[in-house]
Amino acid sequence: MKLSILLLFFAITQVNAEKVFSQTITASFEKAELRTVLNAIEKKGKVRFIYNYDLSLLSRKVDFSVKNASITEALNKLLDNSGLQYRQMGSNLIVISPGYPTDPEPPTRATVTGVVTDNNSQPLMGVSVSVKASTLGTVTDENGRYTLNIPSGNAVLLFSIVGFAPQEQALSGKSVLNVTLTAISINLNEVVVVGYGTQKKASVTGAIASVPMNEISDMPVANVATALQGKISGVVIQQNSGSPGRTPAIKVRGFGSISAGTGPLIVVDGNIVPASVFGLLDAEEIDKIDVLKDASSAAIYGSRGANGVILVTTKKGVSGKPRLGLNMYTGFQQVTNKIPLMNSQEFAAFAKEAANNAYLDNVPGASVDDPNSVRPSNYLRYRYPRGDLFDWFNFDDPAKVAALPYYDFQDLIFRTAPISNYQFSASGGSDNVRYAVSAGYLTQKGIIKRSAMDRYTLRANVDLKAAPKLTIGMNINPSYRITDEVRSDGHWSENGIINAALTAMPLAPIYNENGGYSSQTALAALYNYPGITNPVANITEYNSKFHQLNLLSSAYAEYQFLPNLKYRVSGNAIIYSNRRNVFTTSKMPLNQQLPPTAATGYAFTEQSLSWLVNQVLTYKTSLWKHHNLEVLAGMESNKLQYQSSQGNGGTFANDIVQTLNAAGQPLSVTSQITENATVSYFARIDYNYKTKYLLKLSVRRDGSSIFGPDKRFGTFPAASIGWRLTEEPFLYALPAVSELKLRASYGLSGNNSFNNYYPYVGGVGSTNYAFSDNLVTGLAMNSLGNTGLSWERNQQLDLGMDIGLFKNRLTITVDYYDRITRDLLLSVNVPTLTGFGSAFKNMGKMNNKGFEFGVSSYNLTGAFTWNTSANLSFNRNKVLALGPTGDPILSGSGVGETNKTMIGEPIGSFFGYKAIGVFRDAADLAAHPHDNTSRPGDVKYADVNGDKVLDAKDRTIIGNNQPDFIYGINNSFSYKNIDLAVSLQGTQGGQILNLSRRFFNNQEGGGNNLAIVLDRWRSPENPGNGTEPRANARTTGNNNAVSSRWVEDGSYLRIQNISLGYKLSKAAANRLGLQSLRFYASAQNLHTWSNYMNYNPEVSNYEGPLTGGVDYGSYPLAKTVTFGINIGF
């Protein structure tokens, strides 16, 4: 709830004012600063002072002593002859401002008036307005208005109020001065969202982080999750792909599972939604985002909160006249960087050298001058172009080499792509009805040609005071998305566009003489070159379109039985539908085959319906004045129904009719139907004594149909405590310390997010049986069930500290956590007598531990403001147990075994040979174990086990994708009506397995390579840079095996966003018939500092826990520049 609403409430409801001001206090100080005494009165009595912390009068030393005096008596005595006055603004709010001078007023005075508002153009009551270096001052009324008589029209006014950054403004002769104050996120009265309720920030005992939406509203992102990157400690937002519509991977405090889900639970307005639905929200629709990171905060969600919880609160209507808003931006996107490759002339020399080296290695008496006709025909890679296929295709003729065509395939697949977003909102209401409506349209073309997304969203919510004790409300949020997909990722032989563009010969023709598509295939046969597909054709002749519909609807009713007892019932339903149609035309060149080729088609549909109902009873009371208690109990049930079907066919009659009924080959059709349900019971107790000693206890019991009848229920308790030391008398003498709170929590949570909906049931599939002389189709078990399967369980300890200094102008948050996941669901070997090789069991154990630091400061205030927030997070992951024997898990990603999960190492570590350079000469080769085909110039691998033999046993852990630490730095500046925000984000440590380089850095000469191969080994006298092996068409020495040669540092620092805005003054906007008008420009992913030799250091084509951090041609990120306007009507 915004401070302005609180202040208005206090101003018009003087319910307990007399009681508060008549309470007695006892205090005694000698030579203490006046502000120190005020802090003591504030903490001893139930009052809150509002004043400018920088007032010089507050530094005056005083002797002060009262005994059993009322608040009024104490203030009268303290402020007598101090130059300060006080004014009551509500039941417990007191404004301290400079008093009026007793000397006669100057003969000439000026009057200044104005309105003080917040960022949303709402008036602020109770703002202290004072003249700098004087005792003149006043406060704003309930409409945010003020009037002040001043001795000079050139004075400087100071504006301050709790919860907002103070500001200085020079009058410069003006008689009207309107000011907008910026809300700060460190007010202890700020309300944060917790599970099934809200709580004041001062009372929070768990690790909960909040994201101010003003920090991300200008970011031109298609998915709001992307904008959270670098804003929250302990939360990794990983942009694995820049493809339009792609949802980033989100992890809270590391990987929490091997076989189950690792992403956090996402709750929008109390409704549990998939990450894809969260991604459909526009930042303009969101009021705030809170993240529950520790077990005590998330345990109330039981089996769903094991990996953290993201709570999203959308904007609601407020009482008053209708408020209309329009936010629009448009701009362009470009690929962030290009990969440096060889040109045609460099490639020709490289390919010739590769063929000659292979020929000399394997044919005794061979000479580089031997013509192709002499070179063995069964080793065609010994040959290279000499004009024997096409006259222009001759690597021996310098003139022909100089005239070779050059195609920059990166320029041919990438484009400058437009992006535009339009968001309209309307809100308002009365004391009994409040409403908010928004509609949005986002259109985004991808930086790879043809890729695109169009998204349509609508959100409407209404809250109705149906009776004095009954409030009801509903929300509906449909969205529709159309996505054009391209095959960016994967092996070039599977039409992966990125790897094909980077690997294709730079001289390979795009079109043939008749205008149809050609490819490297046209040049490959005679020389046995790989038939790398034409990336341009792969874009144009591959049609893949998604149509996705999401409908989220919810409703609630809340009845206030007693002033401190309420009952709330709510329910939601999510309807999801997705339709995908794919068609590859006959014009597509394939590996070793030119058009026309066989056209193929594919169709896929899926639908799901999920519903959830919860009931919550909340009782809140205060006992014996200082004991505050809130008790919550409830139950929840939900069900998911899902079905899908798919089919494919080939040999279409033409490329015009692209539906499966036109396929000439028989269709292959499959379908699936699944459903699951859960039921839950939960309770929570929140207690505090004087908001000084804090205690929270919670428990949840979940039952899931995923597990066997005897293992369906799990119980997940949690507890947390807090101690606000600033409420203790011994800290009153430290006025600079405005908040100091120690926190500790411990709790259990569960995980049932398995891809297999029924892991406890044995699977069945179709098979053939022989009856007499006939084969008939029947069913047979194809997997072994386990009725003993149960929840994966997380136990987490969190120790934290919150520090606020100088009236919370500087805040620091520190957390240490230790999280152990037990009963990991693993596939383990079973006795062969069962007829199966493996089955699922709860056998594994894993640990994540780390530190989180957050800092927020308001560095400069006044006409020029500068605010900073920063965060730093460390996480260490370690596998503690795997199955009954502890055997490691080997997993692969595209090229066989690339990752290994083993006890004592991080999950999904890279696994392969350890490259230690290049054999310099024959002596170096003889001194080290090597493959029997190795030659000088080949890659040298470490003999890890020391047995003097290089074989598969020498493969070892060669890195992992988990960074040493992640960080974010955010700065915001403002001067008068101009604002600037700069966000930096990055990671340090962590590696990437760049398997794409096995194509465009393999030194084989069958396709283009990185420009760094120009510094390759050529001879013992010319060894190059020592890491790039020789060119060799018949790779020897296992040069391209999975090894540390492909492992690269994933560290990077990125300018995530820069936003510059200009807001018209309120008077100027009003003259245009508007409430507000702001223009802004924004740049996203502007620049990245990284040594990674591909497009995106965040990449991971295989985002499962066992295979993370592998680059296999991922869609690059885009640099986005937009220009926007924000209008308030």
Question: Which tens digits make up the pLDDT trace of 322-375?
Answer: 889 999 999 999 999 999 999 999 999 999 999 999 999 989 999 999 999 999
Greatest extent of the chain over all pairs of C-alpha atoms, in Å = 121
Please report which confidence band the pLDDT of residue 7 belongs to, taking 50, 70 and 90 as the band edges: very low
Cα separation, 152 vs 158, whole angstroms: 15
Tens of pLDDT, residue by residue over 214-226, are 777 778 788 888 8
Same domain (yes/no): 84, 221: no
Last residue of a domain, one of 261, 287, 320: 320
Q: Is residue 613 part of a domain?
A: no
Contact 415, 447 (CB under 8 A): yes
Rounded Cα distance, 253 and 292, in Å:
11
Q: For residue 66, tell me if it sits in a domain.
A: yes
Whether residues 51 and 105 fall in one domain: yes
Q: Which residue has the tokens 């400061």?
A: 857
Residue with tokens 């909906």: 757
How far apart are the C-alpha atoms of 420 and 441, rounded to whole Å? 8
Examine the pLDDT at 10 and tell me if it is beyond 70: no
Same domain for 205 and 278, yes or no, is yes
Please check whether residue 522 lies inside any domain of the structure. Answer: no
Q: Which of 278, 299, 320 is where one domain is finished?
A: 320
- Same-domain pairing of 117 and 146: yes
> Residue 67: exposed, middle, or buried by beta-carbon count in 10 A (0-12, 13-18, 19+)?
exposed
pLDDT for residue 1112: 87
Dihedral-angle region of residue 990 (phi above 0 means left; psi in -120 to 50 means alpha; beta otherwise): left
My answer on whether 236 and 143 are in the same domain is no
Comparing 256-265, 268-277, 319-328, 753-762, which segment has the lowest mean pLDDT? Answer: 753-762
The pTM assigned to this predicted structure is 0.83
pLDDT of residue 100: 47
Q: Residue 509 is encoded by which pair of tokens?
A: 């023709």
Decide which of 320, 355, 377 is a domain's last residue. 320
Higher pLDDT: 379 or 591? It is 591
Share of the chain above pLDDT 70, in %: 93
- pLDDT at 55 exceeding the cut of 70: no
Q: Is the pLDDT of residue 1033 over 80?
A: yes
- Say yes or no to pLDDT of 654 above 70: yes
10 with 157, same domain?
Answer: yes
Confidence of residue 17 (pLDDT cuts 50, 70, 90): very low
Answer yes or no: is pLDDT of 105 > 60.
no
Does some domain include residue 37?
yes
165 and 292 fall within a common domain: no
Specify whether 12 is located in the same domain as 45: yes
Positive or negative, the CA dihedral 1017, 1020, 1022, 1024 is positive
Cis peptide upstream of residue 596 (ω within 30 degrees of 0): yes
Residue 930 in domain: no
CA distance 815 to 500: 46
Domain tally for the chain? 2
Domain that holds residue 202: 191-320
At a CB cut-off of 8 Å and minimum separation 6, what does 654 contact? Answer: 586, 599, 662
pLDDT of residue 619: 96
**DSSP element (H, E) containing 25:** strand 24-33
Measured between alpha carbons, how far is 291 from 215 in angstroms, rounded to an integer? 16
pLDDT at res. 104: 41
Q: Quick check: is 102 in a domain?
A: yes
pLDDT computed for residue 102 by the predictor: 40
In a domain, 24, yes or no: yes
3-state secondary structure (DSSP) of residue 402 = helix
CA distance 555 to 969: 39
Q: Return the SS3 of 261.
A: coil
pLDDT band for position 11 (cuts 50, 70, 90): very low
Which CATH number is 18's domain given?
3.55.50.30
Specify whether 220 is located in the same domain as 299.
yes
pLDDT, tens digit, 9 for 90 and up, residues 1016-1030: 999 999 999 999 999
Residues 21 and 150 in one domain: yes
Q: How remote is the C-alpha of 651 from its chain's centroid?
A: 43
Q: Is residue 612 within 8 Å of residue 634, measured between CB atoms?
A: no
| Residue 540 to residue 290: CA distance in whole angstroms | 43
Question: Residue 401 above 80 pLDDT?
Answer: yes
Whether pLDDT at 162 is above 90: no
Examine residue 95 and state whether it is found in any structural domain, yes or no. yes
pLDDT averaged over every residue in the chain = 87
- Asked if 808 and 739 count as a contact pair (C-beta separation under 8 A), the reply is yes
What integer pLDDT is reported at residue 617 of this predicted model? 96
Q: What is the pLDDT of residue 625?
A: 81
Cα–Cα distance measured from residue 957 to residue 944, given in angstroms and rounded to the nearest whole number:
10
42 & 160 share domain: yes
785, 762 contact by CB (below 8 A): yes
Q: pLDDT tens for residues 436-476?
A: 999 999 999 999 999 999 999 999 999 999 999 999 999 99
Residue 243, domain CATH: 2.170.130.10
**Backbone phi, then psi, for 82, in 5-degree steps?**
-95, -10
Name the token pair of 379. 């080793």
Residue 1113, CB-side half-sphere exposure with 13 Å CA sphere: 26
Residue 8 scores a pLDDT above 50: no
Are 878 and 908 contacting, i.e. CB atoms less than 8 angstroms apart? no
The secondary structure of 646-671 as a DSSP string is EEEEE-BS-SS--SGGGBSSPPEEEE
Judge if 61 and 127 occupy the same domain.
yes
Q: Which residues of 198-213 are buried (b: 16+ CB within 10 A; e: fewer)?
A: ebebbbbbbbbbbbbb
pLDDT over 90, % of the chain: 50
